[in-house]
Amino acid sequence: MVLKILNTLITVGVGVAAAVVLYWLLNKIAELLPGPWEDRVKPYLYILPAYAALVFYLVYPAVQTVVFSFANAQSTAWVGWDNYTKLLQSSSFQDTLFNTLLWMIVVPVVVVALGLAMAVLADRLNPTWEKTSKTIIFLPMAISAVGAGVVWGLVYNYRPEGREQIGLQNAIITALGFDPVAWLQISEFHVNSFFLMIMLMWAQVGFSMVLLSAAVKGVPDDTLEAARIDGANERAIFFQVVVPQIWGTVLTVYVTTLIGVMKIFDIVYVMTNGGFNTNVVGNEFFNQLFSNFNNGAAAAIVVMLMLATVPIMFYQVRNFRREESMA
């Protein structure tokens, strides 16, 4: 333990010292420039390390991934569009895309709706109970996907009939006289995928609730009182007064959750590893790269995911700028 602490302190110290030396050198370089050029160039030199890190750790890997998506499994020869055509023509990958689309349709809507409902209900409690309830609801955000898998494994666990059922759902239905059910193997109508979605909803509702609660508290009391004076009931006030004023936050929570859903991997990997028709794009990428050792197909999946994510990010940035300009 002492050695780990010492290594951490040394690493932090060396990192800070290196940053100080780097910016000292950049400042000296700027001082060598004549006249007004020092003031013109110095700001760009100061932000140069940050931009260099972005290019090295973000832009270069993205470009390299696009290049690898047109190469073979070993990235040694060009194959053109073969990786894309083989993936899109594969029935298993088509099922994977459909599952991912199902996640994208269901999870963000439910997370926003439940988060908004819990935010409004919790705000009606007295301050002590409000803080307690919000803390309990937010707690799953602190649990990793593997930890969530352990928790929900105790809910969905299945053992053959005649053995003791340690899964909560099977314990309940067997106590009622029914046979145990392999919940995560019910592929009809993607029931098992919905059970996996519940795990993500459970983890994300707290995040949604906190942001939406802050937005609801920010609604001016004057507008609420004016609506009540005009004879509006509480339901009309909520949908016609509160929701329009927090719509920007609702969209932000929705888009943030949507992007997270598009990249979902860990829950599926821990619970089923894509078996029983529960596979999603993130898990398929992992399997192609680390199980099939197919760099080309894995890169093609990432490129398709990036292309799907970019428009959503673009919309979110435009929406954020529009709200900032109206503030």
Task: Convert the pLDDT of each residue in 128-175 to its tens digit.
Answer: 888 888 889 999 988 888 888 888 989 999 998 888 888 999 999 999
Name the burial class of residue 155, with classes exposed (0-12), middle (13-18) and buried (19+) by CB atoms within 10 angstroms of its CB.
Answer: middle
pLDDT in tens, 113-138: 999 999 988 888 888 888 888 889 99
Name the burial class of residue 161, with classes exposed (0-12), middle (13-18) and buried (19+) by CB atoms within 10 angstroms of its CB.
Answer: exposed
Angle of helix 127-138 relative to helix 191-217, nearest 10 degrees, comes to 140
pLDDT confidence bin for 327, thresholds 50/70/90: low
CA count, 13 A, side-chain hemisphere, 200: 29
State the pTM of this model.
0.87
From 311, 129, 112, select the one nearest 216 (Cα to Cα).
Answer: 112
The CA-based diameter of the chain, rounded to the nearest angstrom, is 89
**pLDDT over 90 (residue 55):** yes
pLDDT in tens, 77-111: 999 999 999 999 999 999 999 999 999 999 999 99
Alpha-helical (H) ranges within the chain are 2-31, 37-54, 60-68, 82-89, 91-123, 127-138, 145-156, 168-175, 191-217, 221-229, 234-237, 243-245, 247-262, 266-271, 281-286, 295-326
What end-to-end distance do the CA atoms of the chain give, in Å? 50
C-alpha gyration radius of the chain: 26
Query: Under 8 Å CB-to-CB from 221, ≥6 apart: which residues?
Result: none
